[in-house]
Amino acid sequence: MMPDISSLPEEPGCYLFEDENGKVIYVGKAKNLKKRVASYFSSSPKNPKTMILVKNIRDVCFIITNTETGAFLLESNLIKKYRPRFNIQLKDSKRYAYILLTDEKFPRFVVARNRKEKGEYFGPFVSAEKRDRILKFTRMVFKIRTCKKLPKRPCLRYHIGLCGAPCTGNVSEQEYMESVRGARELLRGNASTLLGRMKREMKKRAEKQEYEQAQVLRDRIIALEALSERQVAERVKKYDQDIIAFAEDGKRVIFHVFNIYKGILLNRQEFEFEKIPDALSQFISRFYEKNPVPKEIIVQENVLDDALLSFLEKRAGRSVRLMVPKKGEKKALLDMARKNILAKEKRNEIALEGLRKALKLQDAPRIIECFDISHLHGTGTVASMVRFRDGEPEKSGYRRFKMRTVSGIDDFASVAEAVRRRYRRLLEENEEMPDLIVIDGGKGQLSSAVSEIRALGLNIPTIALAKKREEVFVPYLSFPLNLGKDEPSSLLLQRIRDEAHRFAVKYQRMLRGRK
């Protein structure tokens, strides 16, 4: 079954392929998410491993990033987190390299694949080519040594003007460390600060008639100003950040939390709540009751009050910054988080609107409940019911049923019992009813469900979804509706049906295991 990719955004980011159990089996990056994911399902020739991967894909999730560079780094972190089996087979998921300032008397700048050695790290760098270019430039401009052991006499690099030759005392330790400090500023992305300081120092040297030193500084300034490409290393922060964005829709609020560790996007979490006053403030306090509090929390509107800040700082054991950025890098990160919410909402809106039109409903079915029956050769029959709200699972609403009145193989009676018990309970407790009920099966299962719903005095639109051709049966037609297997509305129904099936089989196996 091909997942719904019709509403994927045409933006850079990472895509996650999930199997029928909801497990991430592959993580990839893309300059254009829609085009890249669509290429997996095209008719072009593919290698055997990719063909196996495609057969196992049941759903696609995505995270939008502001740049392709951000997608590179995020992909690496997602692979580390999920350990998808197809990534392990198809590609090496090693981390991007750093530049290390070694912990020595006359330190060197070297490439490091991990952070095991002592010293100061810069990066990680997404592109090996750009990393090597910046490393070469740093060594050349600041005349940093590259030899592992200090030789007894100057090497070729000294004679061609690429090294200050601290090995022979040609440059003092103090002078060498001043060059190292300049190189560190450059690698930290503070080129403008470094240039200002060097220009002031050059002027001072010239006034003191120390023309040789002034000339060295002048050459460095010219080289730095000629460096047209901006620093490519991710700016290493000494603190962690969380970005909290939200969007309101009718009676609910959707929150996305992006966790950023030392400047690198690591993870996205998604939450949904009923719309309440001060939703953002209440979400922050509830979220950080169970999660670590970062040094900085970026939000899209001002929620700062003494009680909330005091709570966060008490949880963290240190000061916490809660801010609403208006421009710059932090504003760009917040915009990226909001873009992810809106892209996902658009995807589900298209599918739900398609269902409304196909089933001739008055409104789009925001709450959909789906039933499935599972048994082993007629024994241990159980039913599952899953609830989706606005196209996404609402797992707190999932229910499972062990059959009380049915024995042997009788799917019609089993569907009837599960439906009767579910909606009788909702009536008794005056709980919210679904906008659409989906039954896994054909005309027979549908008739059993509709009879029970009408007997309870309810008028809830009910359909059945048959697995073989993904046909949709409705009570008032003798023939099935053909929504198109690859249409967003049909794919959403298939996803809900597959989730109900997974939940039923899991319960049936659990009961069998107990026996």
Residue 71's φ and ψ, nearest 5 degrees, are: -65, -40
Q: Kindly tell me if the per-residue pLDDT of 193 is higher than 80.
A: no
- In tens, the pLDDT along 315-355 reads 888 899 888 998 877 888 888 888 887 777 777 888 898 89
Listed in order, strand segments (DSSP E) in 3-58 are 13-18, 24-30
Residue pLDDT, tens place only, 278-322 = 788 888 888 888 888 998 999 988 876 778 888 898 888 889 988
Say if residues 233 and 99 touch (Cβ distance below 8 Å): yes
Give the distance from CA 371 to its chain's centroid: 30
How does 371-396 read in b/e, with b if 16+ C-beta sit within 10 Å? bbbbbeeeebbbbbbbbbbbbebeee
- pLDDT of res. 146: 84
Residue 215, pLDDT score: 79
What is the structure's pLDDT at 450?
95
Which of 82-96, 175-189, 256-270, 439-453 shows the lowest per-residue confidence on average (mean pLDDT)?
82-96
For domain 241-346, the question of CATH label 3.40.50.720 is answered with no
pLDDT confidence of residue 232: 32
Q: Indicate the pLDDT class of residue 451, thresholds 50, 70 and 90.
A: very high
Task: Place 226 in a pLDDT band, splitting at 50, 70 and 90.
Answer: low
Tell me which CATH code domain 13-90 carries: 3.40.1440.10
- Asked if the model's pLDDT at residue 129 lies above 80, the reply is no
112-125: average pLDDT: 79
Per the prediction, the chain carries an average pLDDT of 82
In the chain, what are the domain boundaries?
13-90, 98-189, 241-346, 367-514
pLDDT for 445 beyond 70: yes
Would you give the distance in Å from CA 325 to the centre of its chain? 22
- Reduced to 3 states (helix: H, G, I; strand: E, B; else coil), residue 104 is coil
205 vs 400, more confident = 400
Evaluate if pTM is beyond 0.75: no
Kindly state the average pLDDT of the residues 494-515: 84
220: which residues sit within 8 A by CB, 6+ positions away? Answer: 141, 142, 182, 198
Asked if residues 105 and 293 have their Cβ atoms less than 8 Å apart, the reply is no
Could you give the CA distance from residue 385 to residue 404 in angstroms, rounded to a whole number? 16
Q: Among the ranges 123-137, 255-269, 328-342, 353-367, which has the highest mean pLDDT value?
A: 353-367
pLDDT of residue 367: 95
pLDDT score for 235: 42
Is it true that 241-346 and 367-514 share their CATH fold? yes
Q: Indicate left, alpha or beta for 91 from its phi (over 0: left) and psi (-120 to 50: alpha).
A: beta
Q: Which CATH superfamily groups domain 367-514?
A: UvrC, RNAse H endonuclease domain (3.30.420.340)
Lowest mean pLDDT among 6-10, 115-119, 355-359, 427-431: 6-10
